[in-house]
Amino acid sequence: MRAPQIEAAWKGLAACQTCGIRHLALFADLQESDFAHIHTPIEELRYEAGSQIYGVDDPAEAVFTVRRGLVKLVHLQHDGTQRIVRLIRSGGVAGLEALLRPGYAHSAVALQPVEVCRIPVTVVQRLQAETPRLHFRLMEKWHEALSIADDFLTDLSVGSVRQRLARLLLLLSEEAPQAPVRLFSREDLGAILAVTLETTSRTIAEFKRTGAIREVGYNLVLCDRPALSAIAEQA
């Protein structure tokens, strides 16, 4: 397990006004005039799968909106193993705690090729002082994070590994039920479900045998969602 490198590719300065996913993001409610208050550049950055977006030791000077890809928030335990406490998809926000604390609560790592907007804390604070339109969205994002944490607690940490893995696959496939799902490493899957990578591997193998998932490429599976639902809820 090598230390994830910090490598961002600069894509340019963000054009929030014309952003394609703005309706999902932090600045959804802002008006033309509000953008005049942004004086520090918002950067658009690319990260490859496996690279770190921020770490717990970094100074928390920015909030990150995920434009594309999947980001994991990782807590590392005293014994050196990792626990993934949240997965963040397009439209989600990572590092909100930067608005309140000098450090990040977790490290954020790209699970897939990722594009993010790096929004300096000063920009959010400035906007917050100038316009009330951000407050509501900001609360929405806090609530979103909390809902995801609750899902992890109720769906991915309770029951047998079979149930938990089935629920995770349902979660990963819910955006595009017909499309194949890209699995990540057994270690990461284990860190989400709080089990060992061997158990994860065995359970995936079992799902393939029983047809609940079908492998259509390297770590690429089609989900039989009804079958997975049955597994997820079985007493």
Partner DNA sequence: CGCACGCTTGAGAAGATTCAAATGCCGTGG
Partner DNA sequence: CCACGGCATTTGAATCTTCTCAAGCGTGCG
Q: Which does 162 bind (CB under 5 to 8 A by kind): a second copy, DNA, none?
A: DNA
Rounded least distance, CB 214 to DNA, Å:
13
Tell me the C-alpha to C-alpha distance, in Å, between residue 181 and each of 20, 22, 119, 176, 222.
Answer: 24, 25, 30, 9, 6
Q: Name 66's Cβ contacts closer than 8 Å, sequence gap at least 6.
A: 88, 89, 90, 91, 92, 93, 94, 114, 115, 116
Cβ nearer to DNA, comparing 30 with 195? 195
Q: Count the alpha carbons within 13 Å of 25 in the hemisphere toward its beta carbon.
A: 23
Q: Which does 219 bind (CB under 5 to 8 A by kind): DNA, a second copy, none?
A: DNA
Q: Which does 63 bind (CB under 5 to 8 A by kind): a second copy, DNA, none?
A: none
- Asked if residue 204 binds DNA (CB under 7 A), the reply is yes
**Residues β-bridged to residue 120:** 62
Q: Binding residue for DNA (CB under 7 A) from 10, 179, 219, 230?
A: 219
- Asked if residue 51 binds DNA (CB under 7 A), the reply is no
Cβ nearer to DNA, comparing 11 with 202? 202
- Asked if residue 49 binds DNA (CB under 7 A), the reply is no
Rounded least distance, CB 63 to a second copy, Å:
12
Q: Which does 175 bind (CB under 5 to 8 A by kind): a second copy, DNA, none?
A: none
Helices and strands, counts by H and E, the chain: 6, 12
Rounded least distance, CB 100 to a second copy, Å:
5
Amino acid making up residue 99: L
Rounded least distance, CB 72 to a second copy, Å:
13
Q: Which of 36, 57, 34, 60 is nearest to 121 (CA)?
A: 60
Q: Which does 214 bind (CB under 5 to 8 A by kind): DNA, a second copy, none?
A: none
Neighbours of 118 (CB within 10 A): 21
- For Cα atoms 120, 107, 9, give the angle at the middle one, nearest 5 degrees: 60
Q: Which helix (H) or strand (E) holds 143?
A: helix 133-154
Cβ nearer to DNA, comparing 13 with 220? 220
Cβ nearer to DNA, comparing 21 with 50? 50
Q: Which does 160 bind (CB under 5 to 8 A by kind): DNA, a second copy, none?
A: DNA
For the chain, the distance separating the N- and C-terminal CA atoms, rounded to the nearest angstrom, is: 37
Per the listing, tokens 């942004």 go with: 38
Instruction: Tell me which stretch binds DNA (CB under 7 A): 15-23, 117-125, 142-150, 187-195.
Output: 187-195
**Site for DNA, rule CB under 7 A:** 1-2, 160-162, 185-187, 194-199, 201-205, 218-219
